[in-house]
Amino acid sequence: MFYCIPQQAYMRTANCEKLRNRPTGKVPAGSQPKLRACETCAMYPLVDALRVPTVSVVDYLAGVRPDQANLESGPARKLMAGEAQRKAG
Q: What is the pTM assigned to this prediction?
A: 0.80
3-54 pLDDT tens trace: 999 999 999 999 999 998 888 878 888 788 888 888 888 898 999 999 999 9
Q: Residue 22 region, left (φ>0) first, then alpha (ψ -120 to 50), else beta? A: beta
User: In this structure, what DSSP letter does residue 40 have?
Assistant: T
**8 within 8 A of 31, measured Cβ to Cβ:** no
Q: What CA–CA distance (Å, rounded) separates 80 from 47?
A: 11
Q: What CA–CA distance (Å, rounded) separates 74 from 16?
A: 23
- The residue range of the domain holding 75 is 2-88
pLDDT bin (cut points 50, 70, 90) of residue 89 is: low
Q: What CA–CA distance (Å, rounded) separates 63 from 67?
A: 13
Please count the structural domains in the chain.
1
